[in-house]
Amino acid sequence: MSKVLSVENVGKEYRLGLVGAGSFREDFLRWRRRGQAADNQTASVKDVSSIWALRNISFQVQQGEALGIIGRNGAGKSTLLKILSRITAPTEGIIKARGKLASLLEVGTGFHPELTGRENIFLNGMIMGMTRAEIQRKFDQIVDFSGVEQFIDTPVKRYSSGMYVRLAFAVSAHLEPEILIVDEVLAVGDAQFQKKCMGKMQDVTSGGRTVLFVSHNMGAIQSLCQRVIWVKNGQVMGDGDSRKIVAEYLDSADTTSVLYTPEPNRGYTDLILESALFRDSQGEVAKTFSSGDSIRIEVRYNALKKLPRPNFWVVVESSFGSLFGANMLFDGASPDYIEGQGVIACTFSGIQLMPQRYTVTFGIRHENGYNNYIPATELGSFSIIGGSSAMNMSGDMAHNFFETFYALLVPYAWQLPDGKLVPVNGFRDSKLSTD
């Protein structure tokens, strides 16, 4: 594969504050001396400071590659895409791109609100260097993909944000740019259109063209992109395999430490919860796991006196609510007693969790089952990584929405009208057959 995009030591500086432009001459001189120390001494500036939105960004992209760019809000992702799209110029560094480039960065980018959808299709195509005949050949495909044929001769200023994005993406994807840049703007579209967009971007890369994709949907990123760049505070923190970089990003984004530490002076008469952590199947402390991995929850406590038959419990929750847990009041696994410092651990294994974030809550009840030694306490959270392909899901919607519909995947099977049995996720049942 040949290189289609090269970014070398790119940086972008913005000046903050109120600039007092005394005259055109002063503004011109300040512009000439931008970046020099003398500028700060001669320009008429009030409360001016600067911020580097990007600094020392370097990477290369190969033809046919789908590159994901991730990071928290304000990390510099959109600034980077605007520089790559030539909307704004870098303060420093060099960018080399080969071939036509199309970008979809925000609702309304590249469209004239007073022109109709039809006129904007031709306008965008010509801006990209295409002839009218080339655009005309693609016109019907663009309109059909966008789903706005009824309004194609209506000024786009009357479009909803969803219609705007649908048409804009259709134009960008069908005019065959060598490089397609897509920001989180696709989140504006409905579920069916997002599915079409993901499929189209996969078609683009399989056809030998390049996609740069920014999203906060880690499932979509991992499904589309094999390589990911993680941007933090304007710098590249990671560049490599999507699974590895997404895991590192989720670890860093987790504001809840993997180690629970009690609030000052928070203790109870008989028992103190000292710390907690999560471990993977290798015994390493972790905050990210793959679906089906063993997850070990360890809690360190200090029993200030001998306590008979305490009942430990733990619950794992998602945005859907409580999912599963363990409770000694139900399973009868309570120890005869605890005294002094100790560790209690519970391991969950083989549970097919979706790529989401999960919260762990813990408590300890008295032997009578009613009174609390330690009431419900949130220990922290962990994340499951991996896209739908890692879970052998290949349906039309799997690549983008699968992980948001459920928190848990269990083995199951479909029996079709013709009697054919379709097992999913390792389903086995000797009693169920196609007879």
Residue pLDDT, tens place only, 244-284: 888 788 777 554 444 555 554 444 678 888 889 999 999 98
**What is the model's pLDDT at position 390?**
62
Sign of CA dihedral 271, 277, 278, 283: negative
Looking at residue 391, its pLDDT comes to 65
Give burial (CB, 10 Å; 0-12/13-18/19+) of 154. Answer: middle
Query: What percent of the chain is modeled with pLDDT above 70?
Result: 78
**CATH number of the domain located at residue range(s) 62-253 in this protein:** 3.40.50.300
State residue 337's pLDDT score: 94
pLDDT at res. 311: 94
Enumerate the CATH 2.70.50.60 domain ranges in the chain, comma separated.
Answer: 271-385
The pLDDT averaged over each successive group of 10 residues in the chain (435 residues) is: 88 72 59 55 53 92 91 87 88 90 69 89 80 88 88 91 82 80 68 74 83 81 86 92 82 54 56 88 88 92 92 89 91 94 94 86 89 86 75 62 68 86 73 53
Q: What is the pLDDT of residue 193?
A: 73
Which pLDDT tens digit goes with each residue over 51-95? 899 999 999 999 989 999 998 888 899 899 889 988 889 999 999
Model pLDDT, residue 57: 93
Where does the chain hold its CATH 3.40.50.300 domain(s)?
62-253
Token output for 246: 């997404």
Looking at residue 435, what is its pLDDT? 47
Domain 271-385, CATH number (from 3.30.1360.10, 3.40.640.10, 2.70.50.60, 2.40.160.20): 2.70.50.60
